Amino acid sequence: MSHYTKLIFTFFLWLGLLTPAFSVEPVNSDFFGKAIKGYDPVAYFTESQAIKGNKNITYKWNGSKWYFCSQNNLKLFVSNPTIYAPQYGGYCAWAVSEGYTAKIDPNAWDIFEGKLYLNYSKSVQKTWRKDIKGNVVKADVNWPKLLME
């Protein structure tokens, strides 16, 4: 890691935008337990877009509250949450590939090999997309370590 990268990492830690590599919650949720900032995880698959969920259509799963834009999407999620839930608990997939966690922008997303990946921002998403397959391999190794540390 370059000196410049370390400075940026430290700055973002200080701002509270990153979580250092020690025991993270299994789902990235806000203070009130809202997963993926209230966006519907199923809509990424069914509508190919990020859609804000309805506050009246929710489901508690894996310690967080998930929001949906329709009853049908809720039913799909309830039938098999692991199909629709974002990888790495909804933390930034690129950050996890680098060994830490970061918040996400629900509009910076990709579905790769049938799985949903979220990123911190559109600019981070560009970096993620340069080698999605390689980044997934690294993140798959790092994720269990982040949960256990």
Q: What is the pLDDT of residues 50-74, one digit of tens each?
A: 999 999 999 999 999 999 999 999 9
Q: Are residues 73 and 95 located together in one domain of the fold?
A: no
Q: What is the reported pLDDT for 25?
A: 87
Q: Are residues 149 and 92 located together in one domain of the fold?
A: yes
Evaluate whether residue 97 is within a structural domain.
yes
Q: Are residues 44 and 62 located together in one domain of the fold?
A: yes
Contact 87, 51 (CB under 8 A): no
* Alpha carbons 87 and 91: distance in angstroms, whole number: 8
Mind listing the pLDDT tens digit for each residue in 76-86?
A: 999 999 999 99
DSSP string over 36-87 = GGGB-TTHHHHTSS--BPEEEEEEEETTEEEEESSHHHHHHHHH-HHHHSPG
Mind listing the pLDDT tens digit for each residue in 92-147?
A: 999 999 999 999 999 999 999 999 999 999 999 999 999 999 999 999 999 999 99
Q: Are residues 61 and 106 located together in one domain of the fold?
A: no
What is the value of pTM for the model shown?
A: 0.84
Q: Are residues 97 and 149 located together in one domain of the fold?
A: yes
Structural domain including 77 reads 26-85
Domain count across the chain: 2
